[in-house]
Each structure stands twice: as C-alpha cells, then as structure tokens.
Amino acid sequence: MSTILIIFCVLAAVSIATAFLAIFSRNPIHSALWLVICFFSIAGHYLLLNSQFLAIVHIIVYSGAIMILFLFTIMLMNLNKENEVHKPRITRLGAIVSFCLICIVLILVFINSKPIVGEYITTGEDYQSIKVLGKVLLNEYMVPFEFASILLLVAMIGTVLLSKKEKTEK
C-alpha cells in the first residue's frame, strides 16, 4: 500500500468516527469539539488533494470562526441542562429511517458511478495560485460573493438583535 492511501484511510476513519461522535455525544460542548477534529481531518483531505490554500481557509473559517460561534451559541443557550425534554420516539424513528434512506441512495450512487478513464486535458494554468483565485472570485463570481457577504452581515445583525436583553422598567 502506498503512503498516500494509508494517510487517506486514516483521515477517512477519523472523519467518520468524529462525525458520528459529534452527532451522538450527549454533551453539546463535546459535540462541538468532535466537530472541530472532524473539520481538521477534512482539511487533511484537502492537503492530500494538493489544495493547500483551501485547507488553510477551511481551518481558519470552519475550525476557527464557525466553531467559536457554535460554542458561544451553546454557552448562551445553556443547552447542557439535564432536565431537557427528550424527543419523542416517532421523531427518532423518522430520523433513523431518513438516515438509512440517504445511506442507501449514496451507496447506490457510488456503486453505479463510473471512474474517469483517460488523460485529463490541462490548460497549464495554475488554479492553486491565490492570484488566479482572487481574479476568478472578484471578476466572474463578484455578485454571488457580494450576496454572501450581505447574507453574513444580516445574520450577524440578527444574532445581535436576538441576543440583546430587554430593558426592564424599575
């Protein structure tokens, strides 16, 4: 076995295991930490694909910013209470059935997929370059990029307004 295949298998096992632990962990803080480890292993997959920039951005954005936001939300909502109402059995059964159906569909897609055989046509342009990525992002995809920034700004304002405490009159 080659070294790359061994690293891929280890990263895949870590990704799947930590994703399941994030879902099935009873403590929300532990779930968030398992998710951070899962994000780091996904960044390892990006490194195996020789996409260093995407791996670093993934670590900064997801493992850094998003997970900090998740942890603050968990702490703000105080979800670690033991007296929380548990979901009814029909909800759990529906989740299990939908999970199994999605797994069956994904397995069928993977079984019926055909690998690409033959030579890749290359243009010789370096798409890993930050300069090329910036040109593409700010020329061809400028409008979706701006829509995403407006969406994030509105979400941030909404979060601030929702977490703002009401003043009580004395």
User: How high is the pLDDT of residue 169?
Assistant: 63
Whether residue 20 contacts residue 57, with contact meaning beta carbons closer than 8 Å, is answered with: no
Which single residue is written with the structure tokens 């480890």? 37
Residues of the chain with pLDDT under 50: none
Enumerate the domain spans of the chain: 1-81, 126-163
- Residue by residue, DSSP assigns 63-102 as IIIIHHHHHHHHHHHT---TTPPPPPHHHHHHHHHHHHHH
User: How high is the pLDDT of residue 13?
Assistant: 94
Q: What is the CATH number of domain 1-81?
A: 1.20.120.1200
User: How high is the pLDDT of residue 87?
Assistant: 67
User: How high is the pLDDT of residue 168?
Assistant: 64
How many angstroms separate the CA atoms of 11 and 45, rounded? 7
What phi-psi label fits residue 143: left (phi over 0), alpha (psi between -120 and 50 degrees) or beta?
alpha
User: How high is the pLDDT of residue 165?
Assistant: 63
How many angstroms separate the CA atoms of 84 and 102, rounded? 29
Determine if the pTM surpasses 0.75. no
Whether residue 41 contacts residue 14, with contact meaning beta carbons closer than 8 Å, is answered with: yes
Distances (CA, A) of 117 to 17, 110, 111, 114, 120: 32, 16, 16, 9, 9
pLDDT tens digit sequence for 5-31: 999 999 999 999 999 998 888 887 788
Whether residue 16 contacts residue 51, with contact meaning beta carbons closer than 8 Å, is answered with: no
Whether residue 31 contacts residue 23, with contact meaning beta carbons closer than 8 Å, is answered with: yes
